[in-house]
Every structure is written in C-alpha cells, then in structure tokens.
C-alpha cells in the first residue's frame, strides 16, 4: 500500500491544491462544529468561556416544540419543491424535445429564473405577493374571486405553499436541463422499433424512454432534494421564517439560533444532526453516481 502511494506520488501533486484548500475551509469547520455542539455558550462572541455540558444541547433540541414544527416545515418544503420541480422540469423537457420554431429562444427564457440571483427572485415575488399592491391579489379581486387581496406570505396557512411556488419557479429549469440531456441519450431506433410494434405515445414513454432515464432522474432528484433541504435565501429574505415560525426551515432556524440569538452550542448541535441526515442522503447519492459509472464501465 505504502509503496503504491509512493509510486503515485506525482499524481497527488495535481489534487493537492484542491485538497489543501478544502481541508482548511471544510475539515476544520466540521471538527469545530462537532466540538461546539457539546458546550454551552453564553451569549456574546466570547467563545472561550464555553462550558462542557455533554449532550444537553441535543436533548434540548429533540424535546423542543419548535424543532418538530421546523422539521415538519422542512419536510413539506423539501419534498414539495423537489417533486413538483422535477415533474414540471421533466414535462417541459419532453415538450421541448421535438424541434419547432422558437424552441431555442423558449428554452433560454425558461432557464433564466435559475440563473438570476435568489435574492432578486425573492424580492420580485415579495412584490408580486404584496398584501396591498401585489399583482396576484389585484387580479383575484378584479376577477371577483376575492373581496380583498389575500395575505399570501403574512398568513400561517399560505406562507409555506407560497414560498414553494417561488422555489419551484427558480428550480424547475435545472430539472429541465438535466432531463433534456437525458432524453438525447434515448436511442431513436428503440423508439422507432416500439412504434413499428404498435406502441402508443404513452407506452413508448413508459416502457422505452423512462427506463432509459432512471439514472439521470435519480441524480436530478437527489441534487434537487439536497439543494432544497439546504435552501436559505428565499425564506430568509421573504419572511425571515415567520409568521410564528410557519416558514422556518432547518437552515433558517439554525441561522437564527446562531447569529440572531447567539446560541452557538445549540446551533452547532442542530448542524450535527443535519449532518447526519445529509450523510444518509449522501449515501444514496454516491450509490446513484457510482451506479452510473459501473454501467458505463469508464471509471
């Protein structure tokens, strides 16, 4: 083993800069977070004054009501955004697969929301949802569907779905790009053969196209799920987690605990829990990716 490492010593030179940067900025913070999660940190940035309290931070989290509320929000947010973004993106990719005039332009327009900053997107939608002058509310009133403009993001019951709509707006283009590329790998001969054999459009999709896209779909869904689980900007800027925690998800909650209330220890314990969840998601991610590679035989 050591001899093998020595033989390949020149190879490491290529990856060394990347690894070095990541060790400093990634490995150390992970270690530090785990350590801090076992300490009580009095408010203020004087972290030297922390005192060891074992697993108290963890028990405090798991027994708090807010934790379950936020976890439930995170679940709805992640699953809802991921599922709908994927379905819309996939359907758009299918509809765009056939060539027609203006296809390139349409595709470019559809991708723009994904390129612009989430901060800009949050402000645009905040204005659209505005409870007095928002355009959606105005349209609803004009059409006689509502007496007065509804409070989309100031009401506990509608805030999370409203934010999910914004998130999907920004995210479905990603699924669309991935699935468009996937569709190009479906062999035409197979589709034509299926057509000759009398398969209708749905049967061709379900029995030929879809099985071919299983790997791409898995990777896309996992990437979306991870991105959604980790999202911060949209809820933070649009609502800051409110009203009454109705739109707090894990990340915004951790941020508020750490930088808002300076409860670093508790926030670190939250981060460690998050870590464990993501690790298990990561296991599937790696499996899906290495499944890709094995099939391909290239790596």
Partner 1 sequence: MSTIAEPAPRSQARRRMRVDGWRWGGRIFLVFMLLYTALPMIWMLLTSIKSGFAAMQFPPQWWPDEPTLASYQKLLDPQNSVGQDFLRFFWNSLFVSTATTILSVIVAVPAAYAFSRFTFPGRNFLFFAVLLRNMFPAVIFLVPLFILMRAIGLVNTHGSLVLTYLTFGLPLAIWLLKGFYDNIPIQLEQAARIDGATRFQAFILIVMPLSAPGIIATAIYSFIGAWNEYIYAYTFLSKNDQLTLPVGIQRFFSENTTDFPGLMAASFMMSVPVVVLFLVLQRYFVRALTEGAVKH
Q: How far is the CB of 253 from partner 1 (least distance, A)?
A: 9
Q: Is 101 in the site for partner 1 (CB under 8 A)?
A: no
The footprint of partner 1 on residues 72-91 (CB under 8 A) is 88, 91
β-bridge mates for residue 40, sequence order: 51
**Closest CA relative to residue 128, chosen from 92, 165, 155:** 165
Q: Is 296 in the site for partner 1 (CB under 8 A)?
A: yes
What is the DSSP annotation of 106-120?
A: HHHHHHHHHHS-HHH
Select from 16-24, 55-63, 64-72, 75-83 the region that touches partner 1 (CB under 8 A): 16-24
On the 0-12 / 13-18 / 19+ scale of CB atoms within 10 A, 263 is buried
Please give the size of the binding site for partner 1, defined by CB under 8 A. Answer: 104
Select from 154, 242, 274, 291 the one that contacts partner 1 (CB under 8 A): 274
What is the DSSP annotation of 58-99?
A: HHHHHH-HHHHHHHHHHHHHHHHHHHHHHHHHHHHHHHHHS-
Select from 185, 192, 260, 294 the one that contacts partner 1 (CB under 8 A): 185
Q: Quickly count: other Cβ atoms within 10 Å of residue 146's Cβ.
A: 14
Select from 38, 77, 90, 125 the one that contacts partner 1 (CB under 8 A): 125
Select from 52-60, 73-81, 155-163, 282-290 the region that touches partner 1 (CB under 8 A): 282-290
Select from 69, 219, 242, 291 the one that contacts partner 1 (CB under 8 A): 219
Output the six-digit token pair for 108. Answer: 């470019």
Q: How far is the CB of 238 from partner 1 (least distance, A)?
A: 12
């Amino acid at each position: 083993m050591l001899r093998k490492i020595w033989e390949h010593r020149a190879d490491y030179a290529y990856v060394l800069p990347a690894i070095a940067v990541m060790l400093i900025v990634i490995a150390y913070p992970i270690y530090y977070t785990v350590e801090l999660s076992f300490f009580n940190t009095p408010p203020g940035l004087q972290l030297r004054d922390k005192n060891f309290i074992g697993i108290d931070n963890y028990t405090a989290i798991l027994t708090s009501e807010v934790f379950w509320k936020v976890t439930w929000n995170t679940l709805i947010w992640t699953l809802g955004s991921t599922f709908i973004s994927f379905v819309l993106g996939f359907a758009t990719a299918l509809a765009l697969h056939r060539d027609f005039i203006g296809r390139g332009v349409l595709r470019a327009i559809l991708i723009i929301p994904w390129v612009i900053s989430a901060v800009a997107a949050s402000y645009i939608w905040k204005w659209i949802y505005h409870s007095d002058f928002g355009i959606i509310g105005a349209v609803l009133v004009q059409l006689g569907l509502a007496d007065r403009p509804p409070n989309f993001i100031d009401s506990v019951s509608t805030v999370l779905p409203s934010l999910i709509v914004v998130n999907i707006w920004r995210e479905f283009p990603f699924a669309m790009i991935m699935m468009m590329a996937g569709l190009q790998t479906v062999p035409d001969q197979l589709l034509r053969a299926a057509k000759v054999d009398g398969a209708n459009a749905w049967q061709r999709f379900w029995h030929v196209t879809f099985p071919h896209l299983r790997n791409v779909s898995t990777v896309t869904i996992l990437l979306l799920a991870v991105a959604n689980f980790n999202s911060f900007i949209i809820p933070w800027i649009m609502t800051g987690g409110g009203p009454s925690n109705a739109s707090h998800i894990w990340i915004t909650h951790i941020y508020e605990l750490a930088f808002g209330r300076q409860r670093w220890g508790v926030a670190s314990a939250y981060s460690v829990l998050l870590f464990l969840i993501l690790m298990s998601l990561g296991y599937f991610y790696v499996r899906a990716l290495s499944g890709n590679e094995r099939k391909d035989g290239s790596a």
